[in-house]
Amino acid sequence: MRLHCMYNCRFLSMGASYAALADSFRLGISTIHYIIKEVCEAIWKTMAPLHMPAPTTEMLLVTSNEFYLKWNFPNCVGSIDGKHIQLKCPSNSGSMYYNYRHYYSIVLQGLADARYRFIAIDVGAYGKQSDSGIFHYSSLYQLLSSNNFNMPNARKLPLSDVELLFHIPEDSLLSLGDSLITV
């Protein structure tokens, strides 16, 4: 198992290719691929619940308070946006990964709290997909649209009698829902 971790460290830290790792450690490329995939899945399965647990209503209320104190933005439970991550064109992928910025990419779309920490992520969408399309196929959208995101009930704005739903600001490229507002 220690060797498996060493292969993964070289792959993740240095960006070594499967072929280079296979040559260095005298293993087959498919073996290296299998080991790296297995170790990454184990890391995600172990660390994600600790560092990115499913948001609870209490967690979202704390996040909302942080947004208000730090950014003067009441009833906000997170901010969502996406980032294209450049990559080499995968073989036999055609134009699926080719984006409007004229390079190949996958997309990381994330919901972050007031301190820029991820609350939820969706990774691996094709570069050619629109922000709206990526969002509509994400697990976050499924949770929001089915009312299973643990969104807190509406609350009065500070120093006011006006009641406002909790919300997630987003750019104008995502389609609006009850929990999203355009900024």
Query: Given a cut of 80, is residue 182 above it in pLDDT?
Result: no
Would you place residue 176 in the very low, low, confident or very high pLDDT band (cuts 50, 70, 90)? very low
Domain ranges in the chain are 2-51, 57-182
Kindly report the backbone phi and psi dihedral angles of residue 116, in degrees, each rounded to the nearest multiple of 5, phi listed first: 65, 20
Kindly report the backbone phi and psi dihedral angles of residue 126, in degrees, each rounded to the nearest multiple of 5, phi listed first: -65, 145
Name the helix (H) or strand (E) containing 6: helix 2-14
Q: Please answer whether residues 114 and 66 qualify as being in contact, where contact means their C-beta atoms are separated by less than 8 angstroms.
A: yes
- What b/e sequence results for 144-168 when a residue is b if at least 16 CB atoms lie within 10 Å of its CB, and e otherwise? beeeebebbeeeeeeeeeeeeebbb
Determine how many CB atoms are found less than 10 A away from the CB of residue 11: 20
Query: Given a cut of 80, is residue 50 above it in pLDDT?
Result: yes
CA distances to 29, 43, 65 from 47, in Å: 27, 6, 26
Average pLDDT, the chain: 88
Would you place residue 15 in the very low, low, confident or very high pLDDT band (cuts 50, 70, 90)? confident
